[in-house]
């Protein structure tokens, strides 16, 4: 099957069609910038609650250090009220976001219990009111991210996507699980094919895509126009560029090893300290350091020291020993 090399939204070109998924607490600005530095068609911000964003609660604003000026960045908003969704969209667009993504896929209970995220799949009429409010509020493209349905008995994403296209959505990303699956089992890429057939806008496959082989298989089974990678990029910020290179002929990334890898991880750590402040930055960075050390096979005692030491200088000093083991192996 021939692969699509680029996708065109109104006034926005997405090339190659390989995107970084929004992951709460993970795809913050430092990580998105790192992934983009290797190469990605576009990246999506962490989900931002629409009402809280407009009312400027600090944590939401921090999360919404959204990189408005970063090329190829979508800002993802979530909510249950059409007014607040529209107001958040206006705020995001006025700050220069390239396009806006609506979250109808988050399975977290604290989101769905507020009738946001994937809970909207249970009420398509209300979901469409939110979509229409956002589309009508802004001039930038609006996209949608959702799941196959609420559960196995209500696989209604094709119906929702078709109505969303009529409402003005320009691209839809489908995670190949239902909400009730959360992240259990395997993503059903073949089920995305029905949604692709229900719309004429681009469809992006998401879920369990972690490398070139899984991306290739997801595209083959779904007929989708591109892929979105989330957890597969944890500890491997270059994986999107690898997939793009193999599937779309973009330049292959220079994957760092040895001292270059240590330098990249150290720079990522310092960027997080700068972004969040020292105390919160250390906490937020632990998961990323852990993933890097997973890949490097860092011994447990050294891993523990890096993840618990409160002194950033000490952490940076330990990184060469923690990461170099992979080089020596």
Q: 217-231 burial by CB neighbour count: b if 16+ within 10 A, else e? A: ebbebbbbbbbbbbe
Number of other CB atoms surrounding residue 197 within 10 Å: 12
Helix axes 239-248, 29-38, angle to 10 degrees: 30
Active site residue 180: no
Burial status of residue 248 (CB atoms within 10 A of its CB: 0-12, 13-18, 19 or more): middle
CA distance 154 to 22: 24
CA distance 306 to 303: 5
3-state secondary structure of 237: coil
User: What are the helix (H) ranges across 95-184?
Assistant: 109-112, 124-137, 157-167
Name the catalytic one among 20, 106, 262, 296.
Answer: 106
Query: What residues are annotated to the active site?
Result: 106
């Amino acid at each position: 099957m021939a692969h699509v090399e680029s996708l065109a939204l109104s006034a926005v070109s997405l090339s190659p069609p390989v995107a970084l998924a929004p992951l709460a607490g993970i795809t913050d600005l430092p990580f998105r910038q790192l992934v983009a530095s290797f190469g990605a068609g576009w990246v999506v911000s962490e989900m931002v609650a629409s009402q809280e964003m407009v009312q400027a609660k600090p944590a939401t604003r921090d999360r919404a250090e959204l990189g408005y000026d970063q090329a190829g960045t979508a800002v993802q908003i979530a909510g249950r009220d059409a007014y607040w969704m529209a107001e958040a969209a206006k705020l995001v667009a006025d700050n220069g976001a390239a396009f806006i993504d609506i979250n109808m896929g988050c399975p977290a209970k604290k989101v769905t219990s507020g009738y946001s995220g994937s809970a909207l799949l249970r009420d398509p009429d209300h979901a469409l009111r939110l979509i229409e409010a956002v589309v009508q509020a802004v001039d930038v493209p609006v996209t949608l991210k959702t799941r196959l349905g609420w559960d196995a008995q209500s696989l209604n994403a094709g119906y929702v996507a078709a109505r969303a296209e009529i409402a003005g959505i320009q691209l839809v990303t489908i995670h190949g699980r239902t909400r009730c699956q959360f992240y259990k089992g395997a993503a059903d890429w073949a089920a995305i094919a029905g949604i692709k057939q229900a719309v004429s806008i681009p469809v992006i496959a998401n879920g369990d895509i972690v490398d070139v082989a899984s991306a290739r298989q997801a595209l083959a089974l779904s007929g989708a126009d591109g892929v979105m990678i989330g957890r597969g990029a944890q500890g491997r910020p270059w994986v999107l560029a690898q997939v793009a290179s193999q599937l779309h002929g973009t330049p292959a990334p220079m994957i760092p090893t040895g001292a270059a890898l240590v330098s990249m991880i150290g720079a990522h750590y310092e960027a997080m300290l700068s972004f969040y402040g020292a105390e919160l930055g250390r906490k937020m960075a632990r998961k990323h350091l852990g993933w890097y050390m997973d890949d490097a096979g860092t011994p447990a005692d050294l891993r523990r020291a890096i993840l618990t030491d409160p002194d950033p200088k000490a952490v940076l000093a330990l990184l060469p020993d923690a990461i170099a083991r992979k080089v020596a192996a």
